[in-house]
Amino acid sequence: MSVNIQVIFYSMYGHIFTMAEAIAEGARRGQGTEVSLFQVPELVPEETLEKSGAKAQRDKFSHVPIAEPNQLAGADALIFGTPTRFGNMCAQMRNFLDQTGGLWMKGSLVGKVGSVFTSTGTQHGGQETTITSFHSTLLHLGMIIVGVPYSEQRLMNMEEITGGTPYGASTLANTDGSRQPSENELEIARFQGQHVAEIARKLKQG
Ligand SMILES: Cc1cc2nc3c(=O)[nH]c(=O)nc-3n(C[C@H](O)[C@H](O)[C@H](O)COP(=O)(O)O)c2cc1C
């Protein structure tokens, strides 16, 4: 039996893309998983992206296909990645989710596994609020929320500055984007992918 997992993300400077790849890698550890990566459409004008340096970063993952809302119905589990914007998900992700009204009407996502990961510029910049407020949307759509249990002991790492929350994996980008996801953060992301895949498999098996 194959378990279909879609990792749906938005990334402006690449941190969430790197995390998305780690999530997908973890999800593929599970037996018989089909894992695919998608990005949601950009909303920021090209000129603005160029001025901020984001265009060059986004070009590095321009090969990742653009998600289309109706495709979510084909997944057993959906793992969403968004950078934090003022303690919340980014507008690009919000806009994408706001196009799932048709799926909501039909109950197409009811009973599917939903999970979220994020990144912030700063250490206390709202990782938890971004993830837990994202969960509200997934609950409206009828999804079963999965986070990262403390059996992943890297959540308790106090030896270094690190992201990683029981609500979902996370990384810290620094205010200038100079910090890249650490091995501790990437391993938590892999754990989340694998954990989601295992739960989705159990649910599908019934
Ligand atoms: C408009 C805006 C709002 C942001 N709000 C926050 C915030 O509330 N807290 C924080 O720590 N970082 C904030 N950031 C920094 C981003 O979260 C950071 O650039 C992002 O996590 C990097 O991920 P990416 O490389 O995948 O785009 C903000 C950035 C922008 C452009």
Q: Is the CB of 118 within 6 Å of ligand 1? A: no
Residues near 43 by beta carbon (within 8 Å), at least 6 away in sequence: 91, 92, 95
Cα 10 to ligand 1 centroid, rounded to whole Å: 12
- Distance in angstroms (rounded) separating the CA atoms of residues 46 and 83: 19
Mean pLDDT of 134-153: 98
Q: Is the CB of 130 within 6 Å of ligand 1? A: no
Helix (H) or strand (E) holding 39: strand 33-39
Q: Is the pLDDT score of 82 beyond 90?
A: yes
Which amino acid would we find at residue 188? Answer: I
Residue nearest to atom 7 of ligand 1 (CA): 86
- pTM of structure: 0.98
Cα 160 to ligand 1 centroid, rounded to whole Å: 21
**pLDDT value of residue 134:** 99
Predicted confidence band of residue 96 (pLDDT cuts 50, 70, 90): very high
Residue nearest to atom 29 of ligand 1 (CA): 85
Q: Is the CB of 121 within 6 Å of ligand 1? A: yes
Predicted confidence band of residue 31 (pLDDT cuts 50, 70, 90): confident
